[in-house]
Amino acid sequence: MAVVLVYAFLISSGGVDNTGPLWCYPLTMVIMLLQGFRKGVIAVLVLLVIALVLLFYPGIPFVSAEYSISFKIRFVGSFSALAVLSFIYEYMRWRSTEAYVAMSQELDEASRTDVLTGLANRRDMQDRLDAEYARFTRHDHCFSVIMADLDHFKLINDRYGHAVGDDLLVMMSHLFSSGVRRQDVVSRWGGEEFLILLPETRLDQAMLVAEKLRYAAETVDLSDLGVDDPISSSFGVQSISANDNLHELIAGADRMLYEAKRRGRNQVVGTI
């Protein structure tokens, strides 16, 4: 609004020796820089309409400056030309900024996503765990984690090839993701290991989720992969407590996973 008033004053008063309109040119760039492309275009068009009214509509009481008709036409023409150039510049800058933001978001997403499975990778999961642990320490919101590992995965790679092994990892990733809630996070923790974050979930509830996933993995149809051998998974479950930090939580889930392996695999082990 202040820019509009200054603009109208410069044209209507004429300034020193009728040079006031010359100071209107920088206002175009100032408005475009301050308002951005969309709002800036509207604002500059409003200024152009104000100039046409003040210069060519006779009898306006507060307009004291007198300009020749050639000056008026040249001012409107040059101001319009500058406005168009400002539009083009700001549009290109706006598009470049949007492209940069989109590229940055894509790169950030790529850096947080496992290339093979499309799941959250270890870095992204670590950030989510940090956020969930902060909620726990501030508001005492419990959460649990599940460490899952495909049993005898090396045998699948050796017998059917690494390409089939990769396809199996992708299949299990979809299986685990579809078996949890939307707010839960499934990540590829490393190799054939998956770490699942379950917010607002007690240990007994997490054990039920892990058992559901174990059964789904045991009964999944592998005929599309050309795998004849049965596949199973082992699960270690751990819930956060007041004495735990994140390192102890993950280490506890890992210990439970190895205990499940020691007991014969294809089972869920957790502690209270």
Give the DSSP H or E segment for 237. Answer: strand 233-239
Rg for the chain (alpha carbons), in Å? Answer: 33
Total domains, the chain: 2
Give the DSSP H or E segment for 236. Answer: strand 233-239
The answer to whether position 115 is within a domain reads no
The answer to whether position 116 is within a domain reads no
Instruction: With a cut of 70, say whether residue 58 has pLDDT above it.
Output: yes
- Do 156 and 266 share a structural domain? yes
Average pLDDT over residues 128-140: 93
Which of the listed residues 81, 108, 135 is the one where a domain comes to its end?
108
User: Is the pLDDT higher at 6 or at 184?
Assistant: 184
Instruction: With a cut of 60, say whether residue 272 has pLDDT above it.
Output: no
State how far the Cα of 272 lies from the Cα of 44, in Å rounded to an integer. 67
For residue 1, what pLDDT band results from cuts at 50, 70 and 90?
low
**Residue 26, domain extent:** 2-108
- Do 191 and 149 share a structural domain? yes
As annotated, the active-site residues are: 192
- Do 162 and 100 share a structural domain? no
- Do 148 and 89 share a structural domain? no
Q: What percent of the chain has pLDDT over 70?
A: 99
- pLDDT of 19: 82
Tell me if residue 24 falls in helix, strand or coil: helix
State how far the Cα of 107 lies from the Cα of 98, in Å rounded to an integer. 14
Instruction: With a cut of 90, say whether residue 92 has pLDDT above it.
Output: no
- Do 138 and 220 share a structural domain? yes
Alpha-carbon distance values, 36 to 26, 86, 91 (Å): 15, 11, 9
- Do 147 and 262 share a structural domain? yes
Q: What is the pTM of this model?
A: 0.69
State how far the Cα of 263 lies from the Cα of 255, in Å rounded to an integer. 12
Determine the Cα angle at 225 with ends 221 and 230, to 5°.
Answer: 50
Which of the listed residues 67, 84, 108 is the one where a domain comes to its end?
108
Residue from 34, 196, 161 nearest 4 by CA: 34
> pLDDT digit string (tens) for 189-231?
999 999 999 999 999 999 999 999 999 999 999 988 999 888 9
